[in-house]
Chain A
Amino acid sequence: MNKFLILFCVEIAKLKRSQALVMTLLCPFAVILLQLLVVIEGNGDFIAKRGWNMYWMSVVSLWYSFMLPLYIALITGLLTSLEHKNHGWRLMATLPISRVQLYIAKTLLAWALMAIGSLWLYLLTGLSIGLLLLLGYQGGDILHWSFVSQLCPVLVAALPIVVIGMTVSWLIPSMVPALVLGVSMTMAAMSVSRSPDYWMFDPWTYPMVATMVQGVAVRELAIALGAVVGGILLLAGCWYCTRRPIHS
């Protein structure tokens, strides 16, 4: 088997019993739970007036604009903490593997977990609608594929955040700086994403703009920026992170 593929499979195997896997299941669940509580608390008025379309929209916007950037910060921190905690960097550096490949494998894994978390969110949304239907709530058409189809653009647009999260948590043993950066930039992105002139300078706005903004051209620009900026940052991360000496 190809060396990189083996390394990627090993990185997946390291997830067994890890908090990263638990968080991938828990974070989307938290979003759905919050939405369920909002619907139940309002006696279903929100669904009756606006239909399941609005329910889907609330879930997806809460996930992509708020929870996803935080989840990425958390997941990149947890993936690298497996190495920081156990002198894993040192162990991996003594093995016949390339550090560049290790960096790419970990980034790819964080990106894959983001995709899995988002798919899990869609599945939970469907299940929660099923539950609400059983409880007697009605809201018209159940399936809204337009929201599901947002997954691919977001995966591309969120690439810079994944790379930045991975790089920060790769370089700093503590998870705190990565989380602080994730939280503060997410908060800032909520305002900056409304600015037609400045949103493009803040990578944390890209997933929001790629899904929430009305204009097709702007959405496509966010996706393209995600790909280009993400690619450049990935190359820079490969170069910088893998050249540092390993003391831990």
Chain B
Amino acid sequence: MDNAIEIQQLNKSFGRQSVLRQLTMAVPSGAVYGFLGNNGAGKSTLMRILLGLIRPDSGQFSMLGQPLSRALKARVGSLIDSACLYEHLTAVEFLRLMVKLKDIPSLEISRVLELVDLQPDQHKLIRNYSLGMKQRLALANALLGEPELLLLDEPTNGLDPTGMDEIRQLIARLPRQSAVTVLVSSHLLDEVEKIASHVGILHNGQLVREGKINDLLSAGQGLLQLNLADAAKWLPLLRMSNQVRLVSASELEVSGIRKIDCPAIHYQLINAGAHLFQSHFDSLSLEQCFRQSVTGARK
């Protein structure tokens, strides 16, 4: 199976508001797929559709090569937005209920509690947990039974920086440890950049960019900083074909270019007699790539 999730022309509206529009995407098996989008872009709606909480208006999807069914749900772990926990129970009591319903051995409880580092607090009432502990427990529940696919909607919501880092590392480790595919939605671009192998950018219910994170970033446009003598003199030359800004008497900034275009600029300057001391190219961060994609989609 090449793709763990396949979605074809999915549509969903709430009243007159169209949330997902002809959404087609694929999540490769074994990937950590970061699903990006502003609030209201349709990320959570898609997660809810995949889990069967709401029905799409039209379109099709399959996970692990199957349409949604009870048997499939047993192979999928999920954490949707805020943690769903019975707060009057202890962590171990809660997980005992979950292993019964998922029909998996209760030995799993200690494994997942260890994985999220909650073993010391397993007998405390969940209502006395911090927000971060609750989120870790919800993740432990999602990991019960070593699911083949994990759907995580904003998994670091409410966590402190240390907690966020722990969860990020845990998610990034998962595919190597247990061959799980992870679809993780977030509006924290920095978070996704750190853990994802693939990225999809959702804007107004449509996928505006998708692919391997490295390909996306290297294919994108960046910023070239040039240190050269008498910088102002070379401004008109470069302005003919680029967006250029004079930063100081000895520095120019060329924006909106790809790394592959840099040698041509260097050649153009040197050929015209410029004394080029230093050149530095900054490739796009995921945040810049996201902004570009969203702005491009708006236009």
Interface residues of A (CB under 8 A from B): 6-7, 9-10, 13-14, 16-18, 82, 85-88, 90-91, 93-98, 245-247
Within 8 A of A (CB), among B49-106: 51-55, 70-71, 73-74, 76, 78, 80, 82-89, 93, 96-98, 100-103
| Contact between chains at B86 and A14 (CB < 8 Å) | yes
Q: Is the CB of B51 within 8 A of A96?
A: no
Q: A18 and B101: CB pair below 8 A?
A: no
A86 touches B101 (CB 8 A): no
A9 to B97, CA, bound (A): 9
Q: Are A93 and B53 in touch, CB under 8 angstroms?
A: yes
Asked if B103 contacts A96 (CB within 8 A), the reply is yes
How far is it, in angstroms, between the C-alpha of A97 and the C-alpha of B74 when the chains are bound? Answer: 9
Q: How far is the CA of A97 from the CA of B86 in the complex (A)?
A: 17
Chain A to chain B contacts (Cβ below 8 Å), 19 pairs: A6-B100, A10-B100, A14-B86, A14-B97, A17-B88, A17-B125, A87-B82, A87-B84, A88-B86, A93-B51, A94-B53, A94-B78, A95-B73, A95-B98, A95-B101, A96-B71, A97-B101, A245-B54, A247-B53
A14, A16, A96: the one within 8 Å of B73 (CB): A96
Chain B contacts with A in 134-192, Cβ cutoff 8 A: none
Query: Are A16 and B88 in contact (CB-based, < 8 A)?
Result: yes
- Which residues of A are found within 8 Å of B88, using beta-carbon distances? 16-18, 82
When chains A and B are docked, how far (Å) is the Cα of A9 from the Cα of B76? 23
With A16-B89, A90-B84 in contact, do A247 and B54 touch (Cβ < 8 Å)?
yes
List 16 other contacts, CB 8 Å, given A10-B100, A82-B86: A6-B100, A7-B101, A10-B97, A10-B101, A86-B86, A87-B80, A87-B82, A87-B84, A91-B84, A93-B52, A94-B80, A95-B102, A96-B71, A96-B74, A246-B53, A247-B54
CA distance A245 to B14 in the complex (A): 12
State which size class the interface on B falls in. 20 to 34
Contact residues in A for B97 (Cβ distance below 8 Å):
10, 13-14
- Report the 4 A-B pairs with minimum CB-CB distance, sorted nearest first: A91-B84, A87-B84, A96-B74, A245-B54
Asked if B100 and A86 sit within 8 Å, CB to CB, the answer is no
Question: Shortest beta-carbon distance, B231 to chain A, in Å?
Answer: 57
Contacts of A94 in B (CB 8 A): 51-53, 73, 76, 78, 80
A17–B94 alpha-carbon span in the complex (Å): 13
Q: Which residues of A contact B48 (CB under 8 A)?
A: 246
CA distance A6 to B97 in the complex (A): 9
In the assembled complex, the Cα of A85 lies from the Cα of B83 at a distance in Å of 11
> Interface residues, chain B, CB within 8 Å of chain A?
48, 51-55, 70-71, 73-74, 76, 78, 80, 82-89, 93, 96-98, 100-103, 125
| Contacting residues, chain B, for A14 (C-beta < 8 A) | 86, 89, 97
Whether B53 contacts A96 by the Cβ 8 Å rule is: no
Q: How far is the CA of A6 from the CA of B103 in the complex (A)?
A: 9
Q: What distance in Å separates the Cβ of A226 from its nearest Cβ neighbour in chain B?
A: 32
B33 shortest CB reach to chain A, Å = 19
Measured CB to CB, the closest approach of chain B to A156, in angstroms, equals: 30
CA distance A132 to B93 in the complex (A): 42
Complexed CA–CA distance, A13 and B93 (Å): 9
- Complex: A86 Cα to B60 Cα, angstroms: 30
A156 to B235, CA, bound (A): 90
* Docked complex Cα distance between A95 and B86 (Å): 15
Residues of B within 8 A of A6 (CB): 100-101, 103
Cβ contacts under 8 Å, A88 to chain B: 84, 86
**Complexed CA–CA distance, A90 and B51 (Å):** 9
A94-B78, A96-B73, A247-B54 known; A86+B102 contact, CB < 8 A: no
B residues less than 8 Å from A97 (CB atoms): 70, 101
Q: Which residues of A contact B71 (CB under 8 A)?
A: 96
Minimum distance in angstroms from B137 CB to a CB of chain A: 12
How many angstroms from the CA of A93 to the CA of B100 in the assembled complex? 15
How far, in angstroms, from A97 to B48 measured CA to CA in the complex? 16
Name the CB-closest residue of B to A18: B88
Q: Is A86 a contact of B54 with CB atoms below 8 Å?
A: no
> Which A residues are CB-close (under 8 A) to B125?
17
State whether B54 touches A246 (Cβ < 8 A).
yes
Once bound together, how far apart are the Cα atoms of A80 and B96, in whole Å?
Answer: 20
Q: How far is the CA of A9 from the CA of B99 in the complex (A)?
A: 13
Tell me the smallest distance from the CB of B55 to a CB of chain A, in Å: 7
| A96–B101 touching, CB < 8 Å | yes
Q: A14-B89, A17-B88, A245-B53 are in contact. Are A90 and B70 (CB under 8 A)?
A: no
Find out whether the CB atom of A98 lies under 8 angstroms from the CB atom of B70: yes
| Interchain nearest-CB distance for A90 vs B (Å) | 5
